[in-house]
Structure 1
Amino acid sequence: MEYIELFLKSIFIDNMVFATFLGMCSYLAVSKKVTTAVGLGAAVIFVLAITVPLNWLLDQYLLQPGALKWLGADYADYDLSFLSFIMFIATIATMVQLVEIVVEKFSPSLYNSLGIFLPLIAVNCAILGGSLFMQSREIPTLGLATVYGIGSGIGWFLAILAIAAIREKIRYSNVPPALRGLGITFIITGLMAIGFMSFGGMLTGGDEAPKEEKTVKVEEPKNNTDKELANNTKVNE
């Protein structure tokens, strides 16, 4: 249940585009055609699915304060958290280079259509944001980190796919000249963000369990003297 909840929240509630507005450069530039958006979205899913769990391992066993205790007691006090950005970006750049090689090999047309934006995934703030959110939210297990990476990638994929489909349709619409291009795209993005916010009330869990009422037991007087004291107390009150 925990995995499903995190997966759905990372797609709809904590969507990289609509909740935190990360990865907007690629979102706006590569969303003119659905085919191009699908290719870039799939690449983002792959990179996030690989880099988030890898960076989780780096954070747990190398970067956190005391993470090096597995090397021995002498290393238990080491704190390498200042290297987080460098290590995370190095992991992301390696995976993006791998994606670039694979896409160029098996789909040259997609590689040419993506152009400079494919290698720019390495500096896409949505990719780095996935690892940093994983670290700041202290995701406890490798499995949850993997689920969070995949869910975040799918959320970004849905966002760019939806805006690409809409932008293909509005080419034939009578959009006011002042709003053509990025103007109407930003307006649609804001409306889509409002729509995704509606999922917040559906995935935040149910009502809290009812609190148990405490009952106080009153012991009955054991003898006549106790009964007289109890009666006197009631009279005085």
Structure 2
Amino acid sequence: MKSLILLLIGAALVNNVVLSQFLGICPFLGVSKKTDTAVGMGSAVIFVVTVAAAVAYPIHTFILVPLGLDYMDTLVFIAVIAALVQLVEMILKKFIPSLYKALGVYLPLITTNCCVLGVALTNVQDGNNFVQSIVYALGTSIGFCISIVLMSGIREKIEENDIPHVLKGSPILLITAGLMAMAFCGFAGLI
């Protein structure tokens, strides 16, 4: 149990998927303009990453490996992720249309969000069992959500303040992301 908690904390904070592994940068920078949109995107990523890991593990372990097709992992995982994103898109469109509209083009881009595929492939590469795969996926996606929500809060504060014209837009955004990455390095001694 202790190792699972350490895996969860390590995936969320110490090895943050966005700030230390640099996966999922596109939605991190693109959807973090408003906090409510960032929370929605983070929640969708938590669902997709966790369910994708839960589905990818048995497909890899019980179908691809016994048939000697484990080299097809990437292709199969992309198909699984695409199906899950379609499911999330249908659910949001039906029950939370405002969030569906706010996420816009970034919702289908979860399919190609490299952090989703990266988690599934890392689970296979590290030899995680089913429970470890789900805990790692949950921790990684929580880390993504923490990062994007923090960035959105900082961006909202930046918009309220005067900053030099030269730094407006992408420059201040990248400086902020770099400072966040440095701050998250402080969690390295946690585990």
TM-score under structure 2 length normalisation: 0.97
Tell me which amino acid in the other structure corresponds to 2:105: I
Instruction: Tell whether 2:99 aligns with 1:110.
Output: yes
> What is the CA–CA distance in structure 2 between the aligned matches of 1:52 and 1:172, rounded to whole Å?
39
1:208 match:
none
Instruction: Tell whether 2:81 aligns with 1:80.
Output: no
How far 1:14 moved relative to its partner?
A: 1.3
> What is the CA–CA distance in structure 2 between the aligned matches of 1:7 and 1:104, rounded to whole Å?
31
How do residues 12-31 of structure 1 correspond to structure 2 at under 5 angstroms?
Answer: 12-31=13-32
Query: What is the DSSP-based 3-state SS (H/G/I as helix, E as strand, rest coil) of the residue aligned with 1:79?
Result: coil
2:146 match:
158
Query: What is the DSSP-based 3-state SS (H/G/I as helix, E as strand, rest coil) of the residue aligned with 1:32?
Result: coil
> What is the CA–CA distance in structure 2 between the aligned matches of 1:84 and 1:107, rounded to whole Å?
33
Instruction: Tell whether 2:176 aligns with 1:176.
Output: no
Residue identity over aligned pairs, in percent, reads 39
Query: What is the DSSP-based 3-state SS (H/G/I as helix, E as strand, rest coil) of the residue aligned with 2:185?
Result: helix
> What is the CA–CA distance in structure 1 between the aligned matches of 2:119 and 2:149, rounded to whole Å?
19
> What is the CA–CA distance in structure 1 between the aligned matches of 2:171 and 2:105, rounded to whole Å?
23
2:56 match:
55
Rg (Cα) greater in structure: 1
Query: What is the DSSP-based 3-state SS (H/G/I as helix, E as strand, rest coil) of the residue aligned with 1:171?
Result: helix
How do residues 1-237 of structure 1 correspond to structure 2 at under 5 angstroms?
Answer: 1-64=2-65, 68=66, 78-139=67-128, 141-203=129-191
Aligned length: 190
> What do the CA deviations read for 1:40-98 (whole angstroms, capped 9, x no partner)?
1000000011001211111211223xxx2xxxxxxxxx420221111100110111000
> What is the CA–CA distance in structure 2 between the aligned matches of 1:63 and 1:178, rounded to whole Å?
52
Cα-Cα RMSD: 0.9
1:73 match:
none
Report if the CA contact (8 A) 2:14-2:190 is conserved: no
> What is the CA–CA distance in structure 1 between the aligned matches of 2:148 and 2:116, rounded to whole Å?
14
Higher relative contact order (CA 8 A, sep 6+): 2
Moved >4 Å (runs of 4+): none
Note the residue ranges of structure 1 that are not aligned, 5 or more in a row: 69-77, 204-237
> What is the CA–CA distance in structure 2 between the aligned matches of 1:181 and 1:56, rounded to whole Å?
40
Note the residue ranges of structure 2 that are not aligned, 5 or more in a row: none
> What is the CA–CA distance in structure 2 between the aligned matches of 1:190 and 1:133, rounded to whole Å?
24
Of Structure 1 and Structure 2, the greater helix share is in 2
> What is the CA–CA distance in structure 1 between the aligned matches of 2:184 and 2:59, rounded to whole Å?
32
How far 1:195 moved relative to its partner?
A: 1.0
Report if the CA contact (8 A) 2:18-2:25 is conserved: yes
> What is the CA–CA distance in structure 1 between the aligned matches of 2:163 and 2:23, rounded to whole Å?
27
